[in-house]
Amino acid sequence: MSSQNSDAKNFGNARVDTIDSRSDDQINPVVSFGREQIGDGDQVITTIVSSRGKEVKVTGNVDEAMRLALQSQHITFTPEEDRRLVRKIDFCMFPLMCILYSIQFMDKISTGSAAVMGLRQDLNMHGTQYSWVGSAFYFGYLFFNMGPGQFIFQKSKWLAKTLGVFVIIWGMILALHAAPSVKYPSFIVLRVLLGCAESMVTPTFTVITAQYWKKEEQFMRVCLWFGFNGLGGIWANALSYGLYIRKDSYSIEAWRVLFIVTGLITIVIGIAVYFHRPDDPSKAWFLSEREKLMVVERIRSNQQGFGNHNIKWYQVKEAFTDVRTWLYFLFSIGSNIPNGGLTNFMNILIKEDFGYNTQDSILMTMPSYAVELVVCPLFGYISVICARKNVPFLQHRLAWGIIAAALSLVATCMLAFSKENKHAKLAGAYLLYVAPLAFICVLSIISSNTLGYTKKWTVSSINLVSYAASNLAGPQTFISNQAPTYTGAKISMLVCYAGCVVTLTMLYFINSRENMRRDKVAAERVDEKHTIENLEFADLTDQENPNFRYAL
């Protein structure tokens, strides 16, 4: 190791000791926070008091954004510059994010399309075996989110590169679904491996959203990239339809061609992610040095930065003891048991329960995904308008989650109780694709309201463990001897969506009450002069940071 040179620099009220142990361009900042003027000298403040009166140590183990924050705190820019920067980030980040999210949904529903194209017959499935095809994917998803995934992605300083490698791997696994030697047991194994490879897309996107956009901008952005599930559904069904009507033109079964094509598309997108996506805003190739500083100043109000690659076990403990974590968990159960069933059985339901043939059932599934593609971004945009105009209740994203869950409840009633009215049942099936908006709401709330990088990854992982377990259970509610109506599955959907309405309402109430309590505490401490500059990037949790207020 080379000889060490150290010097101290002062930035405003924060002191930074830099130690260069390798080269001039690899510097580790050690931050001494909050130097306030007292009498004739300075006093270093190393602790703060949380809104609940707990003393919190502020250490040098800070967020990656701190290096830029020390340079950006005196930068100024106009509203027009701010809007221009947001447009640039949207343009450079969103197309690939949206396409990748479309692809991962194509992979999930490919089995549903393949099922009506002959998959079940060719692999000699019987009884509940097809239900386990849907569940197997989420066994892998569940396993990887329970530990390996969070550890790999939090420790990695190359977030985008790691994600790109995983996307390429899942594309290869998906293409292998078509191998002539694949029988039912090996098909199940491939589905488990595919779940492992895909499991980190949503939590990674949640972290990325918090890195680039303000808290009030995040709901709209999550609505956009998550809403592109709808494009993935349309794309997959259009591809399936085209392959099915030409099934006699191939030397192998059409459903095998479907897996090969979607696998190759996924590999191409994975390569694009690896080379195009920056690992964090400080490495964004499309931003100038000034624009990188502007990004830091923009997200300062989020009270969080780019991330911290050291696992902090006390934040893991806090995640497990936070009531919000378990409300997210319960919501995901209610939201995703129906999702797991519909993802794998929508084509079958339309064919067997509604009475369409194979060709028409593929076509009739496509409008449901169009609903998701249009409604999710549309509701996100309406929420932005309501926020700008301070419309009571509707200015809050949780309000839109509650509305979406309530509409899903209505849609399930139409699907379950319309009896012989095929058109009413079909309308209910389409309206069900408003349901993802409620899940989007929770994803954006986790992005905005969970501070501390380790805590954010932990809460996201717990939420996605619930997501995986629920999607795993969902196909099992479609019991083969209840075909073609699958009454038990429809009743379970009804109960689940009712639970979602209750859970989101509780979350809204808890966050509102906590914000009012923190405002009261802040008003009582108004005479206290102790302030810490750049506290936003100290990698504190939402319970530690007294300046933080929960997004509703």
Burial (Cβ within 10 Å: 0-12, 13-18, ≥19) of residue 194 = buried
Q: Which domain range does residue 472 map to?
A: 79-518
Residue 297 CB neighbours (<10 A): 17
Is 11 within the bounds of a domain? no
Residue 527: predicted pLDDT? 61
Residue 322: predicted pLDDT? 93
Is 254 within the bounds of a domain? yes
Is 540 within the bounds of a domain? no
Confidence category of residue 24, pLDDT binned at 50, 70, 90: very low
Residue 238: predicted pLDDT? 86
Structural domain total, the chain: 1
Residues 145, 475: contact at Cβ < 8 Å? Answer: no
Residue 500: predicted pLDDT? 93
Is 41 within the bounds of a domain? no
Is 550 within the bounds of a domain? no
H or E segment to which residue 189 belongs? helix 184-198
Residue 137: predicted pLDDT? 84
Q: Is 6 helix (H, G, I), strand (E, B) or coil?
A: strand
Region 358-387 average pLDDT: 85
Tens of pLDDT, residue by residue over 175-206, are 998 887 778 889 899 999 998 888 888 888 88
**Distance between CA 506 and CA 517 in Å, rounded?**
17
CA–CA distances in Å: residue 344 to residues 47, 113, 196, 401, 542: 52, 9, 18, 24, 38
Is 544 within the bounds of a domain? no
Q: Which residue has the tokens 């692809």?
A: 103
Give me Rg for the CA atoms of the chain.
25
CATH of the domain at 346: 1.20.1250.20
Residue 25: predicted pLDDT? 36
Is 20 within the bounds of a domain? no
Is 220 within the bounds of a domain? yes
Confidence category of residue 3, pLDDT binned at 50, 70, 90: very low
**Distance between CA 333 and CA 150 in Å, rounded?**
20
Residues 133, 120: contact at Cβ < 8 Å? Answer: no
Residue 59: predicted pLDDT? 65
19 strand-pairing partners: 6, 28
Closest CA to 225 of 20, 368, 439, 29: 439
pLDDT over 60 (residue 471):
yes
9 strand-pairing partners: 16
